[in-house]
């Protein structure tokens, strides 16, 4: 059975997340309905199951079919059906053992904050509006202390039997005008981990907490000591990494 890798992007505003759900709209539901017209019934596997309202500039999906596909014709067909909210950049055949989720070695996200008195309306769907001025160097110092292999239980929504140990490879906050952005990468992220780190970072930026407080939260390994989650609409999946020796490997198609 031929196996294919698809790279795509989407505006997650009007979707209830990537994963198919009954009676609500999802990226997977729309994508598989569009694929059905060309392939018949099909089930996709995704690199990262983004939550409702979360966006992707580089998401990866894999799927297997009975017969080889005309990938150029399929890509054009999907883009006609799914535009403007979903864009398919490429579809390539890959080895049968390629799996969008389990073959991935890392994932990267950005979180965007509009830190000014008046929100730019063109950024309203993709940035959290925080009016109070933020101390970005303090925020950057706070997340820098999270880099490494840790138990991130304080920052993750708990799921029975699932580990919260993760290797955080990068976490940096930077300001560009009214935009304040977090670039963050890990081998994998547990549920709501990035949005929880953002929420804590904003508390530091507002002066309500210190970077040392964030270290105490990390070592507590207790979800109740953290301060909720940032809104989903500022979060963008920007990269999925695969081992370069794997023929399914490619770099991101877009950067935010």
Active site residues: 51
Q: State how far the Cα of 212 lies from the Cα of 69, in Å rounded to an integer.
A: 54
Say if CB 142 and CB 155 are below 8 A apart.
Answer: no
Q: State how far the Cα of 53 lies from the Cα of 227, in Å rounded to an integer.
A: 20
* Residues making up the chain, counted from first to last: 256
In sequence order, the 6+-apart residues with CB closer than 8 A to the CB of 96 are 1, 3, 64
Q: State how far the Cα of 247 lies from the Cα of 94, in Å rounded to an integer.
A: 6
Give the residues across from 172 on adjacent strands.
183
């Amino acid at each position: 059975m031929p196996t294919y890798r698809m790279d795509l992007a989407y505006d997650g505003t009007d979707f209830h997340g990537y994963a198919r759900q009954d009676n609500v709209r999802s990226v997977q539901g729309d994508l598989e309905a569009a694929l059905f017209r060309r392939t018949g019934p099909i089930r996709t596997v995704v690199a990262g199951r983004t939550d409702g309202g979360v966006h992707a500039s580089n998401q990866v999906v894999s799927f297997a079919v009975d017969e080889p596909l005309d990938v150029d014709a399929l890509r054009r067909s999907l883009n006609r059906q799914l535009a403007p909210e979903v864009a398919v950049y490429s579809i390539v055949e890959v080895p049968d053992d390629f799996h969008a989720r389990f073959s991935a070695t890392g994932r990267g996200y950005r979180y965007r904050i509009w830190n000014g008195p008046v929100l730019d309306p063109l950024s309203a769907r993709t940035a959290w509006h925080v009016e109070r001025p933020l101390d970005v160097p303090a925020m950057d110092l706070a997340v820098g202390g999270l880099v490494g292999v840790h138990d991130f239980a304080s920052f993750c929504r708990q799921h029975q039997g699932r580990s919260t140990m993760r290797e955080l490879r990068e976490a940096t906050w930077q300001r560009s005008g009214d935009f304040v952005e977090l670039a963050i990468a890990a081998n994998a992220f547990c549920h709501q981990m990035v949005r929880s780190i953002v929420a804590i970072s904003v508390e530091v930026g507002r002066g309500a907490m210190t970077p040392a407080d964030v270290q105490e939260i990390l070592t507590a390994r207790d979800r109740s000591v953290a301060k909720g989650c940032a809104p989903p609409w500022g979060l963008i999946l920007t990269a999925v990494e695969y081992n370069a020796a794997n023929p399914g490997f490619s770099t991101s198609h877009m950067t935010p």
